[in-house]
Amino acid sequence: MSGQVMPCSPREIGALFLFEKLTPEQLGRLCAEGRVERFAPGPVYAEGDPATCFYVLIEGTVVLSRRVGGDDVEVTRTSQPGVYSGAMQAYIGDRVRQVYNNSMRVTEPTRFFVLPAGTFADIMHAWFPMAVHLLEGVFFGSKSAQRTIGQRERLLALGSLSAGLTHELNNPAAAAVRATATLRERVAKMRHKLGVISAGPFPREALVKLIEVQERTAEQVAKAPTLSPLEASDREDALGDWLDDHGIPDGWRLAPTFVQAGLDVDWLEQVAAAVDATILPGAIGWLNYTVETELLMDEIEDSTTRISQLVGAAKQYAQLDRAPFQHADVHELLDSTLLMLSGKIGKRIEVVKDYDRSLPRIPAYPAELNQVWTNLVDNAVSAINNTGGDGTLTVRTAREHDRLLVEFRDTGPGVPQEIRGRIFDPFFTTKPVGEGTGLGLDISWRIVVNKHHGTLQVESAPGDTRFQVLLPLTDPSDETPEEPS
């Protein structure tokens, strides 16, 4: 966009604070190689376009905005003469991509001193060589520090997740090992009991009936109902009495196992009717081993299934063997993150999932969204722990017009009003030294806003803090998403 070129007065531009220390010769060069332009109300340049000019306001009103999702969000509005924008990093040259990092428009007829980007770079190097070296050091040093600390942030998160995953895997693995050892012992006793029964004076028909009872018993274990503690206690008493009445030794020890397997007095009556009274004690003992082996195999199956689920969650979380960009189910991503962080969340924090399962898959970078969920959950857990460790974390999904909402709500102390505007700034943290880098929310903001064209915002009051991520339900444009820097 170009305006009306007007005469350039060295005296006028020399009054601007950027140029007030320059010599008459330097001001003359500025006017000779630059120009004064008058713009009618409307756009001057657009974010993302090649940065060709450096603009200094002489008079009028400018508005600077940044693109967030599909909207231009105003970040600055000023009429202060001397404010500048445009190709401010031209002095770095081709080492960085030279584009406008915001959009500028004017709301009234406005005059600028305009300097071509190449001229601005030449003048900076010629007149301020030391300043250029310092600015380059600050620019590249900041970028390097952000990358280094960003990597450390990810490593810290990975270490925390690895510790939690190790803890979660250890429990079912240890249970499977214990159950396997006990199962081996029970099978050995069952073989011994079978040998005793087969060596006894029992007719073939009685043994056949015993085998049939064993099969029905195994089927019964698979259908065991879930009983309340009171129901289980009543059933144990009834089974214990029945076993005592029928001369079965250690009835009190057998009763809890039978109850766990879903067996009751009616089932025992069927067993007693199927076998001769002389072999009933041996039959009950043998069937007890059958029940125990079935329960132990169920425990091993549950434990190994749990291990498989944890490994699956880890793969889902890390998005191994998956395309970086895909249409993803946010609920799968949220569940894998919560599972990976369950050790850190602990048992004192209640996690409530308030999901709208009717929501469609969305175009996304799932591994990076998992990093966002990790940062937001970690902050919520830290906030709740600051109030004593008891609280609730609610994860909610919903449709908000043409976007998908993911909300993390915690019952912590809240974000004070005076720092609410700074929490997304890089290196800003309220955590103790050594516990946070101050990049978690900054990285999250850039992943959500720059890479997914969404928004990340916070609403907070004591006992009710909500971090809200809004993501487009469809591809926002044909543009390639910007990599978070």
DSSP states along 463-474: TEEEEEEEEESS
Higher pLDDT, 105 or 91: 105
pLDDT digits (tens, 9 = 90+) for 54-86: 999 999 999 888 776 556 677 788 898 988 888
Query: What are residue 395's DSSP bridge partners?
Result: 353, 408
pLDDT of res. 68: 61
> Among 333-342, 388-397, 462-471, whose mean pLDDT is lowest?
333-342
Highest mean pLDDT among 338-352, 357-371, 423-437: 357-371
pLDDT of res. 390: 84
- Cα angle 168-171-173, degrees, rounded to a multiple of 5: 105
pLDDT of res. 436: 47
Indicate the burial class of 53 (C-beta count within 10 angstroms; 0-12, 13-18, 19 or more). Answer: buried
Higher pLDDT, 369 or 132: 369
pLDDT of res. 434: 41
> Among 126-130, 134-138, 345-349, whose mean pLDDT is lowest?
134-138
Average pLDDT over residues 144-160: 57
Band of residue 143 on the pLDDT scale cut at 50, 70, 90 = low
Strand 464-472 versus strand 455-461 pairing type: antiparallel
pLDDT of res. 425: 57
pLDDT averaged over the chain? 78
Domain 325-472 listed as CATH 3.90.400.10: no
Q: What is the percent of the chain with per-residue pLDDT over 70, rounded to a whole number?
A: 76
Instruction: Name the DSSP letter for residue 90.
Output: G
| Angstrom distance (rounded) from CA 374 to CA 371 | 5
User: If we measure between CA atoms, which residue out of 43, 46, 33, 23 comes closest to residue 113?
Assistant: 33
User: Taking the domain 4-127, which CATH number applies?
Assistant: 2.60.120.10
Identify each DSSP E strand in 401-481 by its residue range.
403-410, 455-461, 464-472
Instruction: Give the start-to-end residue ranges of the domains of the chain.
Output: 4-127, 161-309, 325-472
> Number of C-alpha atoms within 13 angstroms, CB side, residue 287?
32
pLDDT digits (tens, 9 = 90+) for 240-279: 889 888 888 878 888 888 888 888 888 888 888 877 777 7
- Structural tokens at position 244: 């005592």
Name the strands in the sheet holding 62-68, side by side, starting at the edge strand that comes first in the sequence. 42-45, 103-106, 62-68, 71-78
